[in-house]
Structure 1
Amino acid sequence: MTKQTFSLLGRFWQNKPVRWSLLGILLPVSGVMTAYAVTEPLPQPALYQAERITEELPAVYIDNGSFQGSYWTEEAVEPGDTLTEVLTRLGVPQASIKKVLAKSPIDTKLKQLRAGQTVSVRLDSSGDITDIQFFNDDDNGERNLVAIEKVNGQWQASASAVEMETMPSLRSVIVRTSARGAMAQAGIPVEIRESLSEIFSGSLDIGSLSSGDTIRLLYNSMYFRGQEMATGDILAAEIVKNGKTYHAYYFGQDDDQGGSYYDQNGKSLSKGGFSTQPVSYTRISSPYGVRFHPVLRTVKMHTGIDYAAPTGTPIKAPADGVMTFKGWKGGYGNTVVLQHSNGVETLYGHMSAFSPAGGSVRAGDIIGYVGSTGRSTGPHLHYEARVNGQAVNPATVALPTPKLSQTDMAAFRKQQQTAGNILATVRDLPVTVAQLD
């Protein structure tokens, strides 16, 4: 480069506006070049090499005969049903039904069914029947558990341990068309439906409930081999009709003596005029409900109350009524049946003799005397209560309700709070809630 060229460049650089313009161009370019030089990655060796591998796996083998699954199902008995008709509705093959009826230890008498009860069966993976269980009615105020199973192709009495487990059942039902229909769809047994109707008979008619009304129930259920076989007492109930809530709470200090129902204030709920005990100064020798025979290893559902009393003890009508039956009634022996104005029917069995009473009777009238006729192991009165043909606990439906003392009231409040807390879990729910097993 010549001296003249350097001179020109010097004068050019001394020109301040030109110098700042040139710097404005060169500095960003320099920055880019520097950043590029710093951040350019260094060459890296290959860490892996993609390669396709194909491997042939052995075929999957499924042994269809190795699955031994089974399940329980159940069916409600309709009026006039036979065991054949119930099993047919459950989908049991006709050939299997014929074998059950012909070769099982169920005799003709044990096949008696009643409307509303449940027949439970277990089916294997092929849909064939392996177990059957239900309660049958006898003619002595008891229901006997029938439980049979198929072992190596042969039907025999069930060898399972005879253990009944009592568990509470909780239901919340929204009425759509009828209260009884809604409760039936929610799986509430017919005995509970009829007991509920009688419990509230003094304050409202269950049949008058309309769309939108609510029923909340807590009651005991008894299970055998995981299947609900019988029901106990209603422990608490709430009915909401047109925005008003009606309450009922069960209270009993002695299970053998039974209990009674009271409202939220501890006031007894009306029992349609039942103000008299059928026998006086006696004890309950056998309460209502399920009991286990330790020697025979059988389960029985006792559908009434037995009062131990000497032969000849007078038996009184507990409420006004009409005598609809007086005579011999199978295992009940000498029997009287009374129909009461509130729809409750009461039965008195094993009498030694009848009184002259007949037709209309008043509460306290003597209708017969304690005895041991029919199938009886000793002198006692068998006392039953039925609502629409369904046996219910006489202690809660057809006996006087005792007034609560101060001590009783404290215990009642404790039971009431426990039951109320459980019912609170389903309050205000806009749908039906049911434990469908």
Structure 2
Amino acid sequence: MPAVAAVGRFWQNKPVRWSILGVLLPVSGVVAAYAVTDPQPQPELYRTERVMEELPAVYVESGTFQGSYWAQEAVEPGDSLTDVLQRMGVSDEEIREVLARNSVDRSMIQLRAGQSVNVRFDASGNITDVQFFNDDDNGFRDLVALEKVNGKWRTSTSAVEMETMPTLRAVQVRTSARGAMAQAGVPVEVRESLNEIFNDIVNVDELTSGDSIRLLYNSMYFRGQEMATGDILAAEVVKGGKTYQAYYYSQGKGDEESGSYYDQNGKSLRLHEGFNVKPVDYMRVSSPYGVRIHPVLRTVKMHTGIDYAAPTGTPIRATADGVLTFKGWQGGYGNTVILQHSNGIETLYAHMSAFSSAGGQVKAGEVIGYVGSTGRSTGPHLHYEVRKNGQHMNPTAIALPTPKLTPTNMAEFRRQQQAHTATMAAVRNLPVTVTQLD
């Protein structure tokens, strides 16, 4: 009892009582807070486990490995096939064998500067295959494919299977756009097309360090080797932090010749007057631009322009202002007119029955000749070609009027745009050049 009385007297002392409460309250607060925030037990989400399995030894039979690889060489001005093969390290004896005994007419082996010759070597470094497009003077190029079978050279009998696959490139500009794209493996015809697509809104040649380009375009392969390129499907150019976009859209169902380029809102990228005239009226396209396979002969041809079937005598008009630089006979093209336009573009009009009196400066829509069937032609039509800096391009995407999109077209355009945008998103923010290895 004396102890209890002492405690009571101690508690009655007010200064002591407040001191004890000052100590206990913070402690009780900590305890309460801990009780509230104490994490609840969580189920085990991951369990670490080491798995070891003994695999059988890899066995490689000596002397049975058969390796081969493709090599590619660009044709320089004045090159023959012999010149190209020599630069690729093919011996003179092998070159004689390639050219001496095969069913390809010597006149078919015509090369143009800038094109590629593809050669396959076996594991011993011996040449086994050669393939390239010959350069025709009639608006067509034939695929020449040679192979060595049982020690003898012959025209390839492989089933003709030209595959079309999309190719994706992301290019970071260090010094120049053209140089950066060349290093990334972008073909020269694609580089020229890209420049022309954006010509009215941004100059691709003026891109500087820090700018970038993203490309999605079709490539065509024969026996696993890229032989030609198709249209650019979508492109993004970033200049000074601002992004410019282009999307290819064809209004017809499978009608490749009607394709044009539009911005992200579905509006034409053509802001200035240019190629706004069709070369002939009341026509139909009898042969579009691009690679095709003959259904019976199983041969591969590259058509470098568009053929418009029309009655003999139908007026042919200049598709844009230009300078008439050639009027006359040109091999398989027959009666031909060539116009030089701005920005390195020229247009060619072939197989004419007659010329008009046009000459010198020519205005868009001016009659320059009349439909015919001269040269190597199977019937009256106009063969219309477009070249930029010597490279053939699809006339419908570059040098023909761009049709406006109807509401129905717009819905389909949005669907294609979404798909292409999703593909390019994979490389959109990468600060390095990305090259797809084919």
Aligned-pair Cα RMSD in Å = 1.6
* Partner residue in 1 for 2:245: 247
What is the CA–CA distance in structure 1 between the aligned matches of 2:432 and 2:103, rounded to whole Å?
44
What is the CA–CA distance in structure 2 between the aligned matches of 1:283 and 1:305, rounded to whole Å?
10
What is the CA–CA distance in structure 2 between the aligned matches of 1:404 and 1:280, rounded to whole Å?
21
Q: 1:181-196 alignment to 2 at 5 Å?
A: 181-196=179-194
* Partner residue in 2 for 1:122: 120
* Partner residue in 2 for 1:397: 398
Residue type matched to 1:316 in 2?
Answer: R
- SS of the aligned residue for 1:411 comes to helix
Residue type matched to 1:219 in 2?
Answer: Y
Q: Alpha-carbon deviation of 1:293? A: 1.4
Does 1:268 find its partner at 2:273?
no
What is the CA–CA distance in structure 1 between the aligned matches of 2:112 and 2:340, rounded to whole Å?
21
Q: Aligned residues: percent identity? A: 72
Q: 1:159-178 alignment to 2 at 5 Å?
A: 159-178=157-176
Q: Alpha-carbon deviation of 1:165? A: 0.6
Measured at CA, do residues 218 and 272 of structure 1 come closer, stay the same or move farther in structure 2, by a change above 3 Å? farther
What is the CA–CA distance in structure 2 between the aligned matches of 1:119 and 1:201, rounded to whole Å?
31
TM-score (norm 1): 0.83
What is the CA–CA distance in structure 2 between the aligned matches of 1:272 and 1:202, rounded to whole Å?
10
* Partner residue in 2 for 1:54: none
Q: Alpha-carbon deviation of 1:95? A: 2.3
* Partner residue in 1 for 2:106: 108
Q: Alpha-carbon deviation of 1:62? A: 7.1
Q: Alpha-carbon deviation of 1:113? A: 1.5
Given that 2:185 and 2:435 are in contact with CA atoms closer than 8 Å, whether structure 1 keeps it comes out as yes
Given that 2:322 and 2:341 are in contact with CA atoms closer than 8 Å, whether structure 1 keeps it comes out as yes
Given that 2:304 and 2:393 are in contact with CA atoms closer than 8 Å, whether structure 1 keeps it comes out as yes
Residue type matched to 1:247 in 2?
Answer: Q
Measured at CA, do residues 352 and 427 of structure 1 come closer, stay the same or move farther in structure 2, by a change above 3 Å? same
* Partner residue in 1 for 2:56: none
- SS of the aligned residue for 1:342 comes to helix
* Partner residue in 2 for 1:257: 257
Residue type matched to 2:266 in 1?
Answer: G
Q: Alpha-carbon deviation of 1:109? A: 2.2
Q: Alpha-carbon deviation of 1:207? A: 1.3
What is the CA–CA distance in structure 2 between the aligned matches of 1:94 and 1:317, rounded to whole Å?
48
- SS of the aligned residue for 2:118 comes to strand
Q: Alpha-carbon deviation of 1:85? A: 2.7
Given that 2:336 and 2:349 are in contact with CA atoms closer than 8 Å, whether structure 1 keeps it comes out as yes
Q: 1:381-396 alignment to 2 at 5 Å?
A: 381-396=382-397
Total equivalences in the alignment: 377
What is the CA–CA distance in structure 2 between the aligned matches of 1:106 and 1:164, rounded to whole Å?
20
Q: 1:34-183 alignment to 2 at 5 Å?
A: 63-64=62-63, 66-183=64-181
- SS of the aligned residue for 1:402 comes to coil
Given that 1:334 and 1:350 are in contact with CA atoms closer than 8 Å, whether structure 2 keeps it comes out as yes
Q: Alpha-carbon deviation of 1:63? A: 5.0
Measured at CA, do residues 237 and 336 of structure 1 come closer, stay the same or move farther in structure 2, by a change above 3 Å? same
TM-score (norm 2): 0.83
Q: Alpha-carbon deviation of 1:390? A: 0.4
What is the CA–CA distance in structure 2 between the aligned matches of 1:297 and 1:408, rounded to whole Å?
35
From 233, 237, 242, the equivalent of 2:231 is 233
Residue type matched to 2:429 in 1?
Answer: D
- SS of the aligned residue for 1:232 comes to strand
Does 1:410 find its partner at 2:408?
no
Larger Rg: 1
Residue type matched to 1:332 in 2?
Answer: Y
Q: Alpha-carbon deviation of 1:213? A: 1.1
* Partner residue in 2 for 1:279: 280
Q: Alpha-carbon deviation of 1:104? A: 3.3
- SS of the aligned residue for 2:210 comes to coil
Given that 2:257 and 2:289 are in contact with CA atoms closer than 8 Å, whether structure 1 keeps it comes out as no
- SS of the aligned residue for 1:291 comes to strand
Given that 1:222 and 1:231 are in contact with CA atoms closer than 8 Å, whether structure 2 keeps it comes out as yes
Measured at CA, do residues 272 and 194 of structure 1 come closer, stay the same or move farther in structure 2, by a change above 3 Å? farther
Q: Alpha-carbon deviation of 1:237? A: 0.3
* Partner residue in 1 for 2:429: 428
Given that 1:116 and 1:189 are in contact with CA atoms closer than 8 Å, whether structure 2 keeps it comes out as no
Q: Alpha-carbon deviation of 1:433? A: 0.7
Measured at CA, do residues 355 and 93 of structure 1 come closer, stay the same or move farther in structure 2, by a change above 3 Å? same
What is the CA–CA distance in structure 1 between the aligned matches of 2:304 and 2:267, rounded to whole Å?
27
What is the CA–CA distance in structure 1 between the aligned matches of 2:198 and 2:142, rounded to whole Å?
30
- SS of the aligned residue for 1:222 comes to strand
Deviations 1:236-290 (A, max 9, x none): 0000111111111101132243300011111101175111100011111100000
Given that 2:173 and 2:210 are in contact with CA atoms closer than 8 Å, whether structure 1 keeps it comes out as yes
Q: Alpha-carbon deviation of 1:67? A: 3.4
What is the CA–CA distance in structure 1 between the aligned matches of 2:340 and 2:273, rounded to whole Å?
12
What is the CA–CA distance in structure 1 between the aligned matches of 2:356 and 2:94, rounded to whole Å?
52
- SS of the aligned residue for 1:191 comes to helix
What is the CA–CA distance in structure 2 between the aligned matches of 1:272 and 1:423, rounded to whole Å?
31
- SS of the aligned residue for 1:202 comes to coil
